């Protein structure tokens, strides 16, 4: 079974590749296709780069010729499509690159897979599957539950209502995949996940940024009042969910993958600070830096959604997936990983990894 993983040098993609090799070993082959933008880092995959059943290809998913060659030269059974521009702040500054990568790139992948997998009778080779990895941000924002009211959640049937260029580009790519499913009967699934956290996450994201800044005694910027709510999912649980959808999901269906771990941003930051205090030895000079005094409230982000929360009822019912990692355990594992991999952090923050 050969998997084409796009964006496999990124945070979630690299964790997925590790998960798959740990589970299936030599039963599978993985081709990792990544453009190696600022968020792609081959050091993420150093432990498996020498495997005979692993190959890295540097290419842009919008490059039709390069993608066609991958399908032509390899018998691809599964496409797991992670590759995307994904940082909301960057999308506000430069929306065009998000449209190009997330929308045109997805369309290019779909066309190449469709061409490679098509049969003479208008169908597709049996057993092929394309899984498009998306986000809960396509659904927009949920209201905060009032006292005495039941909270609302994102379901697979929730109408799309994106509010940033990033989420709009992901919503567009989701709809293109849906169109291929409906028009051609293309063998695809879509998964919409909540906020991921764990090892190898690029340091511009909230959790690794807070860890790095706190250790250095730098300010911890918090948008608005810090009460924006996100649903947090440990990245290895996400990887397990994707694998289970590929194995057991109904073709053409969308599955929400959420952790049922809702936390405000300010709660996340305070939890990280507390965990750092617990894990750092008393003789570590960085421990003195770690303090809630570093928290600094800044002007809110443009179009900042207030609350995200995914209901993973369908994936649990149809596929049997549920998260294994409580937030308290996952955040401890994450902080511990960053403390033990400061060389990786320094390599990324210095920009040396891009060489």
**Positions marked active-site:** 136-137, 166
- For the record, the structure tokens of 150 come out as 């039941």
Length of the chain, in residues: 355
Contact 260, 317 (CB under 8 A): no
Q: CA-to-CA distance for 127 and 187, rounded, in angstroms?
A: 9
- Return the closest-CA partner of residue 202 out of 33, 8, 12: 12
List, in sequence order, every residue forming a beta bridge with 30; answer none if it has no partner.
Answer: 3, 54
254-257: strand order across its sheet: 54-58, 29-34, 2-6, 78-81, 129-135, 188-193, 254-257
* Cα-Cα end-to-end distance for the chain: 33
Q: CA-to-CA distance for 8 and 13, rounded, in angstroms?
A: 4
Contact 345, 212 (CB under 8 A): yes
Long-range CB contacts (within 8 A, 24+) of 214-220: 214/272, 214/273, 214/276, 214/289, 214/290, 214/294, 215/276, 215/286, 215/289, 215/290, 216/286, 216/289, 217/286, 217/288, 217/289, 217/294, 218/294, 219/294, 219/295, 219/296, 220/269, 220/294, 220/295, 220/296
The H or E element containing residue 334 is helix 327-340
Q: Give the DSSP letter string of 262-301.
A: EEEHHHHHHHHHHHHHHHS-TT-GGGGG--GGGEEEEPPP
């Amino acid at each position: 079974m050969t998997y084409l993983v796009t964006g496999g040098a990124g945070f979630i993609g690299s964790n997925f590749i590790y998960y798959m090799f740990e589970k299936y070993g030599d039963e599978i082959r993985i081709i990792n296709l990544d453009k190696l933008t600022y968020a792609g880092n081959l050091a993420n995959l150093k432990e498996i780069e020498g495997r005979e059943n692993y190959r890295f290809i540097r290419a842009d998913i919008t490059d039709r010729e390069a993608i066609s060659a991958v399908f032509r030269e390899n018998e691809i059974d599964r496409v797991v499509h992670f590759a995307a521009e994904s940082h909301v702040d960057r999308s506000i500054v430069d929306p065009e690159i998000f449209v190009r990568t997330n929308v045109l790139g997805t369309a290019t992948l779909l066309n190449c897979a469709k061409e490679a997998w098509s049969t003479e009778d208008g169908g597709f080779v049996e057993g092929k599957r394309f899984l498009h990895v998306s986000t809960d941000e396509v659904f927009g924002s949920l209201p905060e539950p009032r006292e005495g009211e039941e909270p609302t959640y994102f379901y697979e049937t929730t109408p799309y209502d994106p509010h940033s260029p990033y989420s709009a580009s992901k919503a567009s790519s989701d709809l293109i995949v849906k169109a291929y499913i409906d028009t051609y009967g293309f063998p695809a699934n879509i998964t919409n996940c909540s906020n991921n956290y764990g090892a190898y996450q690029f340091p511009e994201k909230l959790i690794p940024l807070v860890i790095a800044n706190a250790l250095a005694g730098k300010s911890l910027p918090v948008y608005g009042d810090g009460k924006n709510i996100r649903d947090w999912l440990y990245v290895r649980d996400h990887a397990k969910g994707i694998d289970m959808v590929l194995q057991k999901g109904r073709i053409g269906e969308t599955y929400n993958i959420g952790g049922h771990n809702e936390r405000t941003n300010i709660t996340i930051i305070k939890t990280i600070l507390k965990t750092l205090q617990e894990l750092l030895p008393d003789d570590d000079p960085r421990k003195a830096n770690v303090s809630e005094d570093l928290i600094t409230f800044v002007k809110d982000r443009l179009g900042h959604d207030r609350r995200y929360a995914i209901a993973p009822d369908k994936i649990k019912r149809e596929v049997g997936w549920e998260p294994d990692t409580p937030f308290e355990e996952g955040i401890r594992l994450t902080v511990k990983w960053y403390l033990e991999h400061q060389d990786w952090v320094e390599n990324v923050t210095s920009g040396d990894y891009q060489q």
